[in-house]
Amino acid sequence: MIGYIFFRLSTVLFSIIPFGILYKISDFLSWFLYSVVRYRRDVVEKQLKASFPEKTDDDLKKIAKKSYDNLGDIIVESLKGFTMPKSEFLKRYHFVNPEVSLKYTQQGRCVIHSAAHYGNWEWGVITYALSFPNPSLGFYKPLSNKYSEEYAAKKRGRFGFIMVPIQNTSKGFEQYKNDGATFVLVSDQSTWSDNAHWVTF
């Protein structure tokens, strides 16, 4: 319950903070996570070195700091997003080339969108139904705190996006298979399950 209360107080606080101050908070949070807490620094540095073996240590450090800047922005924007009005979302977030997908769903055919944790995915979830009017569903892992989960699911789906817990994935596909639905799958996470089915992409 304490976690839920803190979460709700944070959303209330961020609802009244203007964007100019919001990004100052993001700057502090980025510095705090990178320099003080050193949140996953070893993982970030190891993966950057593996991804860009040709870059110098100074170059990799600059990239790492920018990634923490991005993380700070996403955290504060996500908290702000729980209470932002539709007009603010429409001004700040939009999908590029939705017609590529809409030409199929408007024919009653279903499509699968392969999404990633790129940009602000929380704003993407909230605004999905504004660009894709047929049923749009996202499959996700629910939060462990049931009160925070109920609140977050309600806010994420307030414009029409349908949140489906991952344990109900097959039911979600079955229920909307004839509705020209858009199924959104987050595709940039690894599974460590022995029951995973691996395919060549």
Average pLDDT over residues 130-146: 89
DSSP assignment of 75-110 equals HHHHHHHTT--HHHHHHH---S-THHHHHHHTTT--
Is residue 112 pLDDT above 70, yes or no? yes
Strands (E), the chain: 111-115, 136-140, 162-165, 182-186
Domain that holds residue 167: 90-186
Domain boundary among 83, 118, 147: 83
Which stretch of 46-50, 120-124, 196-200 has the lowest confidence by average pLDDT? 196-200
Domain assignment of residue 126, yes or no: yes
Is residue 77 pLDDT above 90, yes or no? yes
Give yes or no for a contact between 82 and 76, defined as CB atoms under 8 angstroms apart: no
Flag whether the pTM goes above 0.85. Answer: no
Query: Is the domain of 159 the same as that of 76?
Result: no
Domain boundary among 83, 98, 114: 83
Query: Is the domain of 119 the same as that of 179?
Result: yes
Give yes or no for a contact between 183 and 110, defined as CB atoms under 8 angstroms apart: yes
Query: Is the domain of 158 the same as that of 103?
Result: yes
Task: Grade residue 118 by pLDDT with cuts at 50, 70 and 90.
Answer: confident
Task: Grade residue 119 by pLDDT with cuts at 50, 70 and 90.
Answer: confident
Query: Is the domain of 72 the same as that of 112?
Result: no
The number of folded domains in the chain is 2
Domain assignment of residue 112, yes or no: yes
Query: Is the domain of 64 the same as that of 113?
Result: no
Mean pLDDT of the chain: 90
Domain boundary among 83, 111, 140: 83
Give yes or no for a contact between 17 and 84, defined as CB atoms under 8 angstroms apart: no
Which of the pair, 149 or 99, is modelled with greater confidence?
Answer: 99
Task: Grade residue 63 by pLDDT with cuts at 50, 70 and 90.
Answer: very high
What's 178's domain CATH number?
Answer: 3.50.50
Query: Is the domain of 94 the same as that of 65?
Result: no
pLDDT digits over 150-186, tens only? 888 898 999 999 999 988 999 999 999 999 999 999 8
Strand order in the sheet with 182-186: 111-115, 182-186, 136-140, 162-165
The residue among 187, 186, 176 whose CA lies nearest residue 111 is: 176
Query: Is the domain of 108 the same as that of 174?
Result: yes
Task: Grade residue 201 by pLDDT with cuts at 50, 70 and 90.
Answer: low
The three-state secondary structure class of 28 is helix
Share of the chain above pLDDT 70, in %: 98
Is residue 195 pLDDT above 80, yes or no? no
Distance CA 126, CA 105 (A): 19
Query: Is the domain of 100 the same as that of 170?
Result: yes
Distance CA 61, CA 63 (A): 5
**What pLDDT, on a 0 to 100 scale, did the predictor assign at position 191?**
66
Is residue 50 pLDDT above 70, yes or no? yes
The residue among 76, 91, 82 whose CA lies nearest residue 130 is: 91
